[in-house]
Structure 1
């Protein structure tokens, strides 16, 4: 059972995000899956359509749903309306249930660390999308912590940009509105300024509105290449989910080498770069050599759909949550805990 913000008031704006992909993955892995959207349940439980007023009802209803559904695994997303006391009540009634917490935000963000510390008190496993030695989440925490990559889903990541050369744009990069003065936005402006021949679709800044839902996917697949730059590019194997969206839909994806993803992908699958000049040189090269762009993009697409398939990540979450032996040698680091990492990493974010 998945608890979080999916299939609710966003009206399908976020239908390709991580939680729907995991739901698909669990279903393909043979699980009966039920989704509980705490925000939507809270809003519809009060005539005021208020999450704050509906919070007690959402907690009561989650307990009621668990009684009816009897889940083996409760996977928590960013369901901040659900209290730890509610999770404890569910555990008290269903002594065999396992509870896992999935967090995909940056570990540099203090409020996010606080969210993890709060959940660490009541869950059996924590899954994060950064392969770092994790901070201590509190002396009362006994939950091991593991890395998972952002999933790619065969149904939701259906683009094949490598198969075409008639896209309207050469390079796609999307930001949420409100990030106009960030390092990422300035990098995008610099590319557009220094390579005016490049048809660059920048979203979320300079009067170009951000996109959601099918409109976002249509714009993404109307480009040949994608720029994957996150808020933080210095942590081992951390990237926003735009990276999996771009590679998963067949764009040749440009990724900072400082993220360490070159340990999972080769230079023949992803366009890695260090300093800004290398990025600009590679953009020029692939703009002029479309056959090579298509070849590398397809290789990356095949690698991502194999390595990061949503059902494979769902299976890994199940095995770790139930303390089972791993059924395969997973390609990503599997021995992350609160104290240790696969290897020490010291990287700068690069000269963007």
Structure 2
């Protein structure tokens, strides 16, 4: 298919976030044999607007229409494409009958603003995809938006370290985030440290000082285990895209049992826990007997087999075109 992917480019934080969700799907679509153009809507707007934001947004939308006129897309895939308007998408659909429009959002649907923007985009889309399942996804569908669950992909060309094989370590557990200093997520880490003071626990990203780029993966490589923990740990099958990065990097991933991911991953693939003390005890054992290596290796292999960038991209296309997706383990969510 001829596909235009509309998503952020490589400016500002995205300069170091080249392994974002949309870039993996972009790779997956190309590797699956599709002809793909990457339209970087925010960069197009910045280039055009000089000091008048509205002018930049208008010109960016005109640029998308011009590209489509020549390319004649069969699908438009939106990934947080905030600059692209519904009016432009309506014009595209009129000019190119049969062109499918899909919208993908990897933020938590339980956050009100995410639901609002998905519902607002829904009328001009054939299908929407979210990384949240359960009641929130049911509510989105009930609002009249055709929607499916899509997992966070991993890409071996991006998550290109094998932490399980590295010997130089400075952390028994690492946590990467950008929450404010007083956030509950850091307090949870404090509780783990208090329960196992002998363990080396390293944290990055307090007060939005995110670790990005190669430094991010080098830090994962130096860790035995990494914590996948956020604001919505009990929302069915939701995780930030951090989950794909951690499993892809081959680090032993520690994550809460209530997340739902045990449907896809076994006890041999991750360090599932029920609270801070439970995590401390399990991590202590994994460090002592070095089982973190086997868990990291198995978790990477399992996650890549299920959720690699090509397979997730192929699911997106198949679901949008109405093909059979029963073979995908998450298709019934």
Class of the TM-score when normalised by the shorter of the 2 chains: over 0.9
The alignment partner of 2:15 has SS state of coil
Q: What residue number does 2:38 align with?
A: 35
**Does the alignment pair 1:195 with 2:196?**
yes
Contact 1:180 1:204 in 2 (8 A): no
State the TM-score, normalized to the length of structure 2: 0.94
Displacement, 1:273?
0.6
Displacement, 1:52?
4.2
Q: What residue number does 2:327 align with?
A: 329
Displacement, 1:140?
7.8
Q: What residue number does 1:179 align with?
A: 180
Q: What residue number does 1:97 align with?
A: 99
**Cα distance in 1 for residues equivalent to 2:32 and 2:98:** 20
**Cα distance in 2 for residues equivalent to 1:139 and 1:200:** 43
Provide runs of 4+ in structure 1 moved above 6 Å.
Answer: none
Write out per-residue CA displacement over residues 218-250 of structure 1, whole angstroms, 9 at most, x where no aligned residue.
112221110000210111111111111111100
Q: What residue number does 1:262 align with?
A: 262
Equivalent residues in 2 for 1:115-194 (5 A)? 115-133=117-135, 134-137=137-140, 141=144, 143-176=145-178, 178-194=179-195
**Cα distance in 1 for residues equivalent to 2:205 and 2:10:** 24
The alignment partner of 1:225 has SS state of strand
Contact 1:117 1:138 in 2 (8 A): no
Q: What residue number does 1:346 align with?
A: none
**Equivalent of 1:69, from 61, 68, 71?**
71
Contact 1:129 1:148 in 2 (8 A): yes
Write out per-residue CA displacement over residues 166-217 of structure 1, whole angstroms, 9 at most, x where no aligned residue.
22222111111x42222211111222343332222201228x9421112112
**Cα distance in 2 for residues equivalent to 1:304 and 1:107:** 23
Write out per-residue CA displacement over residues 93-142 of structure 1, whole angstroms, 9 at most, x where no aligned residue.
0001100000111122111110000111110111110121425448883x
The aligned length equals 329
Displacement, 1:33?
1.1
Q: What residue number does 2:217 align with?
A: 217
Displacement, 1:164?
2.3
**Cα distance in 2 for residues equivalent to 1:137 and 1:162:** 39
**Cα distance in 2 for residues equivalent to 1:47 and 1:201:** 42
Contact 1:121 1:140 in 2 (8 A): no
**Cα distance in 1 for residues equivalent to 2:175 and 2:66:** 43
Displacement, 1:10?
4.1
Displacement, 1:83?
1.0
**Cα distance in 1 for residues equivalent to 2:54 and 2:227:** 38
The gaps in structure 2 that reach 5 residues or longer are none
Q: What residue number does 1:339 align with?
A: none
**Cα distance in 2 for residues equivalent to 1:260 and 1:107:** 16
Q: RMSD in angstroms over aligned alpha carbons? A: 1.9
**Cα distance in 2 for residues equivalent to 1:170 and 1:149:** 27
The alignment partner of 1:184 has SS state of helix
**Cα distance in 1 for residues equivalent to 2:300 and 2:53:** 39
**Equivalent of 2:22, from 7, 19, 38?**
19
**Cα distance in 2 for residues equivalent to 1:183 and 1:11:** 26
**Cα distance in 2 for residues equivalent to 1:299 and 1:135:** 33
Q: What residue number does 1:295 align with?
A: 294
**Does the alignment pair 1:315 with 2:298?**
no
State the TM-score, normalized to the length of structure 1: 0.89
Contact 2:174 2:223 in 1 (8 A): yes
Worse-matched range after superposition: 208-217 or 251-260 = 208-217
**Greater helix share, structure number:** 2
Contact 1:9 1:40 in 2 (8 A): no
Contact 1:6 1:19 in 2 (8 A): no
Q: What residue number does 2:80 align with?
A: 78
